[in-house]
Amino acid sequence: MLSGVIEFRIDRHSGVSTYLQIAAQVKQAMRMGLLGPGDKLPTAREVVEATRVNPNTVLKAYRELEHEGLVEGRRGMGTFVTASLATDATKADAPLRQDLDRWMDRAVDEGLSADEVDAIYTDVRGTHY
């Protein structure tokens, strides 16, 4: 299915309201280049079937994204992405990303846990940013 581009994961214990989680996940997908201008977001009905949320919540998230100028609702057709958040640096085939991918491979080979990897990443990021 064409509309099956992204699937929302709702964390019911995060304390972050559901509509903000949905909006954030659309933006994340846009940043990663998974969603770009012209792509259609899943309909409220599709999201409800997949994740059991209130369709009004989905529409609220889409309205929020529309307000930010990222998507556009077209009557009777659905909601479409109108902007691009992807930069060359965040795309899947970007060199920096591939470097990190290779680095992560080594970490797995050397038996590091995800927590250890996160700790290293956070620490290194902290010294640069």
Binding site residues, other proteins, CB under 8 A: 10, 12, 15, 17-18, 43-45, 48-49, 52-57
CB of 6 to other proteins, least distance (A): 18
Q: Shortest distance, CB of residue 120 to other proteins, whole angstroms?
A: 33
* Three-state DSSP class for residue 65: helix
Question: Between residues 11 and 93, which has the closer beta carbon with respect to other proteins?
Answer: 11
Rank residues 59 and 85 by Cβ distance to other proteins and give the closer one: 59
> Which CB atom, from 52 or from 106, has the smaller least distance to other proteins?
52
Cβ of residue 33: shortest distance to other proteins, in angstroms?
29
Chain-centroid distance of CA 12 in Å reads 17
**DSSP secondary structure string, 73-106?**
EETTTEEEE------TTTSTT-HHHHHHHHHHHH
The rounded distance, in Å, linking the Cα atoms of 13 and 63 is 24
Helix locations, the chain, DSSP H: 18-31, 44-51, 55-67, 95-109, 114-128
Nearest approach, Cβ of 15 to other proteins (angstroms)?
7
